[in-house]
Amino acid sequence: MSVTRHFLGRREPTAATVARFLLPDSPDGSVDLGNRLVIVPTRQAGRRLREALARACADRGGALLSPRVVTPAVLLADDTARPRPAPPAVVKAVWARTLAAADLERCTGLFPHGAPARDFAWALRTGDMLQDLRRTLAEGGYSMAAVTEQHRADLEEPERWRDLAALETRYLENLHGLSFEDPVRHALDAARRPRLPEGTTGVVLAAVPDPVPLALRALDAVSAALPVDVLIAAPAAEAKRFDAWGRPVPAAWADAPLPVPDPDANILLAASPAGQAERVIAEIAAERQRFGPADVAIGVADPSVSPFLRAALEDNGLPPFDPADVPFRDHPLCQLVTAWADLLTAPTYAAFAAFLRQPPVLEYLEDRDGVDPAGLLTELDTFQNRHLPLEFEDITAHLNDAFPALSAAAALVSDQLGAPGGDGPVAALRRFLQTVYRSRTLNTGQPEDDAFTRAAAVLNSTLREWSLPEDTAPELAPRDVLALLMRRLAEQAIRPERGDEPVDLEGWLELPWNDAPFLIVTGMNEGAVPAARCADAFLPDSLRTRLGLPDNAARYARDAFLMQGLTATRRHAGRVCFITGKAGASGDPLQPSRLLLRGTDSELAARVRRLFAPAPAAPYPPPAGPGLQLDPRVPPPPPPPPHT
């Protein structure tokens, strides 16, 4: 078997050309692709491809048995492996215990001045940093020990890497004692022996411009038994500009011109993220005769622009769909859990007051005890002004019949404070949530209830990471378990579900798969496009290059290739414009993307003048007005009481 490259050209968006490659000629229009594994760069790209395949088969009047469309991460997973990979919460706990027990006096290369504060929070943060480093090294097939042994001459600070390797060894020993496999080692082993779905007869690497080297190792192993087709969204005449896996060769793209049709109209400046959103609305309005809402796609190269885009589009009757995951910490369920955990960790008056102001808690007390929410909060303020409590105990010591609603709330909190020591933090949290949500009903199809269901699923999966048999659970104090779970929840995200939104907001890597004829790309600033890592404490760019990890030159080549494709596919029947910001949301100055300066020599001076000209002043929003008309005059005295 072998690896074969196929060049798809640039006349159409990627989804259409990949679909055309996958669909063979069929007498009745029906197609069976069930035995093909198709690897795409992102989940959203996979959705676009499935839509293109279904649309093409429908046009033929036939049926489609879809291929399995996955991202490269699937190549690095093996569900049958034993022992099974440790859940993320267990990895965090083992790293924290490893660091807490380590003799840092002997790790002077990594901690030359010792740890600033060797508490559990420090151990969690440091463990996350070290595990992130191990995951990055694994992309190139390395462990910390392997880098130390194989690249000692390339390391500027070999003592640091010696200490890293020693800590890695202790962490792996501690994890092995719990009968778990390290997830990084699991990925390395899976790449050596990749397991594909049963019945797979071929693999297609579909226009993935930057697969990690470890995934390519897995594909190389697969190619010994199955054919691997590599699809490249470029003409065959440019074959020398790509390697065997379809990755742009950095040297071939370093000075490549990137033409932008009509740059005066299609390279735009904005003073701020809000100004970028205003420019998007203005361009959509200007093109309304040619392009309707379904013909428009908006790229978000810099995620910090997304909130401003969503607000502007919604205000103008164009609610967008953003496929980016929503942080779990932004959902009210996470805020409730955080308030509960803060109260159990440090039962102060401030934590108690924040807990009581959670809507589910107020609704529960109203349902169970008939407590009026407004009356409860009034009692809380009155009590605070009268007694100035600092701790929860100060509240219970001074409660009396004058505070019936507050007494009911304090009883609920007292019950919760006694729970973790009895049945563990995870069971206590589940019991608390079952208590406060006992009367809530969910209606499928209601956006708020559907979002709650997805958030609850994320919470449940996170808690299950710590629902382990006693012999496999790391020993931690209850308050440390709470801290670990809250840190894990802060990392989680909720996958949005598409509704009937007319406009898409998509990330830079997803834009080649969007077939909308009118594309507006925001956030075209240095650091976002091309992506760059400029200050890595362990892996400077020079070391990444020597280790074969993606470096800044590879990212530049990838982004130059993608930008060229975005303009080429719309040159004859569409439009693409790029918006660069002069400043971020906090007012910090931004530089325009280098890609916007890669015109021809004759265009360079004009582009420089355009990109570094003053941005149009963003219109200031009107000042907020009062919700009601106030009368500042002193009211007249009340009339005297009537004589009896």
- Would you list the DSSP string of 29-77? S-EE-TTEEEE-SSHHHHHHHHHHHHHHHHHHT--EE--EEE-GGGGG-
The CA radius of gyration of the chain, in Å to the nearest whole number, is 29
Residue 590 banded pLDDT, cuts 50, 70, 90: very high
The predicted structure's pLDDT at residue 290: 93
The confidence score (pLDDT) of residue 474 equals 82
Q: Are 187 and 134 in contact (CB under 8 A)?
A: no
Supply the pLDDT for residue 156.
Answer: 87
230 bridge partner residues: 5, 205
490-507 pLDDT per residue, tens: 999 998 888 788 888 999
**In the chain, what percentage of residues exceed pLDDT 90?**
65
Q: How confident is the model at residue 445 (pLDDT cuts 50, 70, 90)?
A: confident
Give the C-alpha separation, 626 to 80, whole Å. Answer: 63
Q: Which residue has the higher pLDDT, 615 or 624?
A: 615
In the predicted model, is pLDDT for residue 28 greater than 70? no
Mean pLDDT of 413-438: 82
DSSP states of 423-444: H-HHHHHHHHHHHHTTT----T
pLDDT of residue 39: 96
Among 77, 71, 73, 70, residue whose Cα is nearest residue 183: 77
Report pLDDT digits (tens) over 221-240: 999 999 999 999 999 999 99
Helix, strand or coil, per DSSP, at residue 322: coil
Helical ranges in 503-574 per DSSP H: 541-547, 552-568
pLDDT of 618 reads 56
Give the model's confidence band at 420: pLDDT under 50 very low, under 70 low, under 90 confident, else very high.
Answer: low
The position carrying tokens 């071929």 is 202
CA 510 to chain CA centroid, Å, is 14
pLDDT of residue 634 exceeding 90, the answer is no
H or E element in which residue 368 lies: helix 359-369
Residue 1, Cβ neighbours under 10 Å: how many?
12
Statement: residue 350 has pLDDT above 90: yes
Residue 468 pLDDT level (bands cut at 50, 70, 90): confident
Give yes or no for residue 80 having a pLDDT over 90: no
User: In this structure, is the dihedral angle defined by the CA atoms of residues 518, 519, 522 and 524, taken in order, positive or negative?
Assistant: negative
| Chain Cα centroid distance, residue 275 | 25
Residue pair 343/350 in contact by the 8 Å Cβ criterion: no
For the stretch 256-280, pLDDT in tens is 889 899 998 999 999 999 999 999 9
Please check the confidence at residue 633 and state whether its pLDDT lies above 80. Answer: no
Query: Which pLDDT does position 476 carry in this prediction?
Result: 87
92 sits in which H/E element: helix 88-101
pLDDT in tens, 185-196: 999 999 999 989
Q: Provide mean pLDDT across the span 231-258.
A: 95
- Between CA 540 and CA 194, with CA 148 as vertex, the angle to 5 degrees is 90
Distance CA 264, CA 279 (A): 14
Q: Is there a cis peptide before residue 83, judged by omega within 30 degrees of 0?
A: yes
DSSP secondary structure string for all residues of 243-267: -TTSPBPHHHHTT-----SSHHHHE
Give mean pLDDT, residues 103-128: 87
Q: At what angle do helices 88-101 and 158-176 cross, to 10 degrees?
A: 120
Exposure b/e, 394-420, CB count within 10 A at least 16 = b: ebeeebeeebebbbbbbebbeebeebb
Residues 347-369: what's their mean pLDDT?
94
The pLDDT, as a whole number, for residue 265 is 92
Confidence of residue 1 (pLDDT cuts 50, 70, 90): low
Q: What is the pLDDT of residue 65?
A: 85
Span 503-560, pLDDT tens digits: 889 999 999 999 999 999 999 999 999 988 777 889 999 999 999 999 999 999 999 9
Separation between Cα atoms, residue 85 and residue 181, nearest integer Å? 5
Per-residue confidence (pLDDT) for residue 128, from 0 to 100: 96
- How high is the pLDDT of residue 619? 52
Across the chain, mean pLDDT equals: 89
Predicted confidence band of residue 356 (pLDDT cuts 50, 70, 90): very high
Q: Is the pLDDT of residue 437 over 80?
A: yes
Sign of CA dihedral 518, 519, 522, 526: negative
| Segment 562-586, tens digit of pLDDT | 999 999 999 888 999 999 999 998 8
Angle at 456 between CA 450 and CA 458, to 5 degrees: 110
* Cα–Cα distance measured from residue 565 to residue 563, given in angstroms and rounded to the nearest whole number: 5
Question: What is the structure's pLDDT at 537?
Answer: 83
For residues 129-133, average pLDDT: 96
Assign 132 to helix, strand or coil: helix
What is the helix (H) or strand (E) element at residue 188, kind and residue range?
Answer: helix 183-192
